[in-house]
Structure 1
Amino acid sequence: MLELREVSKSYGGRTVLASLSHRFAAGEFVAIMGESGVGKSTLLNLIAGLDAPDSGDVLVDGQPMSALDDDAATRLRRSRMGFIFQAFHVLPHLTLRQNVALPLLLNNASLARAGEMLAAVGLDGRGDDFPRQLSGGEMQRVAIARALVHRPALVLADEPTGNLDPDTAHSVLELLRAEIKASGASAIMVTHSHAAAAKADKILILSRAGLILSPNGL
């Protein structure tokens, strides 16, 4: 459902990605690792259509992102993608239920699933609480619920456990994998953590040579 075709991107004269091609299988949970500065977060931004490649194309469900205007790209992100960030990006002035319901509101969908997703991530009965009442691990659970509540086809996670202690990170990753598999979504997770990457179905290493399947999983 996702394909990169000869994607290149430079910033300030420095090439970050060069002629990158790869096809991601539907329903697969993929971890992408690589050295700092190699372009992992840039790649996620290109896949999401938040930035445009200098050349080449990103195809989602066979549709080139370059063929979409800003409004169409926004609609695609809202309906087909879910995002999980290292810094959570949970809105402090909204309750947990309101935070999780945001993608449903944007897609004019029933809000009932917000409560169901909070229960699925172990926060049943906490819908009226505010983010200030949560631990880091609980906030990441809210972020996972929000990313999956509208049943996206593609989940993009950028260092989702970078701010968590090892035990909490393990719990959050187990939850993330379980929820992705239950919903049948594809997922791409950028991470520097071998422990996090081990939860994925496949590990790819991003280098100047492109995306390479990691030998022996790590």
Structure 2
Amino acid sequence: MTLRDNDVPPALECRGLSKAYGAGRVLLASLDFALDPGEFVAVMGDSGVGKSTLLNLIAGLDTADSGEVLIDGTSISSLDDDAATRLRRQKLGFVFQAFHVLPHLTLVQNVALPLLLNNTAPSRALDLLEAVGLGGRGDDFPRQLSGGELQRVAIARALVHRPTLILADEPTGNLDPDTAHEVLSLFRAEIKANGAAAIMVTHSMAAAASADRILILSEHGLHAGE
């Protein structure tokens, strides 16, 4: 963790986070870690070890068996459903492996969605489409795009409302190396410019190298990578 003023909370703090499935299959056990504003962390590990589960728990899309997740000093578990939804809209940005781009909306409408949900002017959506290499295609629909282009739309949407915390699950998995490098450069620049924190789950060492630090998730917990 980087140094911060004592009165500024971590962007993310996980305390004693545990999750098991089925017949006692433990994925996460008493996980403790924190991210400061402006910190970009890559999480790596074998398939099935719980990396995507960790993101879902942090986002409040899944429920931990025990422990607590605090975003910008607020415990998700202390909120009712409406308040948790508002927190996700305002403070979180998501990049899902499966894109979750809405097929009936144009590209600019997809990217602008977090702004509209937060009652913010949607003008920045066009700037983000330009930044991910899709300038001039705002009126296109998702069916006209390749998988790599859909991923770029998803990344633009995650960044557009300047969230406190960005959660990215294999954000470069569908991108060629040159585009991946450009997108990660944008990703990092936006994080630093807005004082956001980000967790990127990835199998790519090239992608992980763009982060400030690498954490390895295994059955023994979360520890610093080499």
The two structures have a TM-score, normalised by structure 1, of 0.93
* SS of corresponding position for 1:137: helix
The structure 2 residue matched to 1:4, chosen from 14, 26, 30, is: 14
Instruction: Determine which of 72, 77, 84 is the counterpart of 1:66.
Output: 77
Aligned to 1:152: 163
Q: Report the Cα distance in structure 1 between the residues aligned to 2:139 and 2:69, rounded to whole angstroms.
A: 39
- Contact 2:45–2:217 under 8 Å retained in 1: yes
Aligned to 1:118: 129
Q: What amino acid sits opposite 2:19 in the alignment? A: K
Where do 1:28-39 residues align within 5 Å? 28-39=39-50
CA distance in 2, matches of 1:157, 1:96: 19
Q: Is the 8 A contact 1:30 1:187 kept in 2?
A: yes
Do the aligned residues in 2 keep the contact of 1:59 with 1:65 (CA within 8 Å)? yes
Q: TM-score, normalised by structure 2?
A: 0.89
Amino acid of the residue matched to residue 122 of structure 1? G
Q: Give the aligned CA root-mean-square deviation in angstroms.
A: 1.5
Q: Write out aligned runs for 1:32-51 (5 A).
A: 32-51=43-62
| 3-state SS of paired residue (1:83) | strand
How far is 1:138 from its partner?
A: 2.3
Q: Specify the alignment match of 1:54 in structure 2.
A: 65
1:14 Cα deviation (Å)?
0.9
1:83-118 Cα shifts (integer Å, max 9, x gaps): 011222212221111101111111111111212222
In the TM superposition, what is the alpha-carbon distance from 1:190 to its structure 2 partner? 0.6
Quick one: distance in 1 between partners of 2:140 and 2:191?
25
Task: Identify the range of structure 1 (159-168 vs 180-189) with the bigger mean alpha-carbon deviation.
Answer: 159-168
Instruction: Pick closer, same or farther for the CA change 1:62–1:179 going to 2, 3 Å.
Output: closer
Partner of 1:179: 190
Structure 1 runs not aligned, ≥5 long: none
Counterpart Cα distance in 2 of 1:131 and 1:197: 28
| Percent of residue pairs identical | 75
Does structure 2 conserve the Cα–Cα contact (< 8 Å) formed by 1:114 and 1:149? yes
